[in-house]
Amino acid sequence: MKKVLTIAGSDSSGGAGIQADLKSFSANGVFGMSVITAVTAQNTQGVFAVQDIDVDVIEKQIAAIFDDITVDGVKIGMVSRSETIRVVAAGLTKYNATNIVVDPVMISKSGYYLLKPDAVEAMISCLLPLATIVTPNIPEAEEIAGIGITSLEDMEAAARIIHSIGPKYVLLKGGHREEDATDILFDGDNFQYLTSPRIATKNTHGTGCTLSAAIAANLARGYNAYEAVACGKEYITTAIEHSFPIGKGVGPVHHFYNLYQKAGMLKDE
């Protein structure tokens, strides 16, 4: 079985972050491991506090995994401080990590800034050049590329700028646009377009984490970039279609819907 590492923050409500990544890894057929960069006090209504993990502990978590276990892929999520970003980048470089998916998490759905302003440049300069695929949504792409995005042409322009920073592929997600939900995958030469239907639900907590983790899992399993993204898109679409309400706010997606369905565990749904 392939082994994939998530480097991200912990979501105490279980819908996003490390918890979503591990669920997504399992659902996509790989063994999940984690390096925790921060602990959040979080639920379906928002993020209320963040405790960053000491960089020495982050460094030791990375070493503990790579010194013992073959890592077939890496997903990077919440890395809120520049010092955290630098130690993660140094660790991945030291161990020659491959199949790296960077989800440039900046702001939670409730508006909490998960990436400190002074850390944006560190992410751009240290992490993006290591990425096999970087997966920004439109607000994140606007921040990284430094341009406004309202059209598909703007998305293409931003993808070109982000690709010039160093990642092999840019998956720019179009879910924030008011029109169709087209994502674009850019390899430096060609654009490929992935369109999925908009799903009428408020329960989308952890979608970005879940998708990027699925892509990392599929890269680790040997899929090429387009195949990994396409499989990840199909997986997250099903997970959103069968998302469910918990708590008083934005509920999670259903990470295991297909598996539960095959096991006959959804008869009472």
Q: 16-44: per-residue pLDDT in tens?
A: 999 999 999 999 999 999 999 999 999 99
Question: Which pTM was predicted?
Answer: 0.95
Closest C-alpha among 67, 59, 68, 135 to residue 100: 135
- Residue 180 pLDDT exceeds 70: no
Q: Is 204 labeled as catalytic in the residue annotation?
A: yes
For the chain, percent of residues with pLDDT exceeding 70: 94
Strands (E), 112-180: 133-134, 169-172
- Residue 8 pLDDT exceeds 80: yes
- The active-site residue out of 6, 135, 204, 238 is 204
Question: Residue with structure tokens 């972050």?
Answer: 17
Q: Is 173 labeled as catalytic in the residue annotation?
A: yes
- The active-site residue out of 9, 17, 32, 206 is 206
Q: Mark residue 11 as left, alpha or beta (left: phi above 0; alpha: psi -120 to 50; beta: remaining).
A: beta
Average pLDDT over residues 141-145: 94
Average pLDDT over residues 3-17: 97
Number of Cβ within 10 Å of residue 258's Cβ equals: 15
- The active-site residue out of 209, 210, 238, 251 is 209
Predicted confidence at residue 269, as pLDDT, reads 53
- The active-site residue out of 132, 207, 210, 238 is 207
Q: Is 126 labeled as catalytic in the residue annotation?
A: no
Number of Cβ within 10 Å of residue 156's Cβ equals: 15
Predicted confidence at residue 196, as pLDDT, reads 78
CA distance 36 to 95: 18
Predicted confidence at residue 136, as pLDDT, reads 96
For the chain, percent of residues with pLDDT exceeding 90: 81
**Lowest-confidence segment of 97-111, 146-160, 201-215 by average pLDDT:** 97-111
Average pLDDT over residues 71-100: 97
Q: Is 231 labeled as catalytic in the residue annotation?
A: no
- Residue 179 pLDDT exceeds 70: no
Closest C-alpha among 230, 233, 239 to residue 257: 239
- The active-site residue out of 9, 14, 17, 208 is 208
Q: How many CA atoms lie within 13 A of 71 on its CB side?
A: 26
Domain ranges of the chain: 3-258
Average pLDDT over residues 125-147: 95
Domain 3-258 adopts which CATH fold? UDP-N-acetylmuramoyl-L-alanine:D-glutamate ligase (3.40.1190)
Predicted confidence at residue 111, as pLDDT, reads 64
Q: Is 206 labeled as catalytic in the residue annotation?
A: yes
CA distance 4 to 12: 21
Q: Is 195 labeled as catalytic in the residue annotation?
A: no
- The active-site residue out of 173, 174, 232, 251 is 173
Predicted confidence at residue 107, as pLDDT, reads 74
For 99, 105, 122, 123, 143, the CA distances from 161, given in Å and listed in that order, are 21, 18, 17, 15, 11
Average pLDDT over residues 210-228: 98
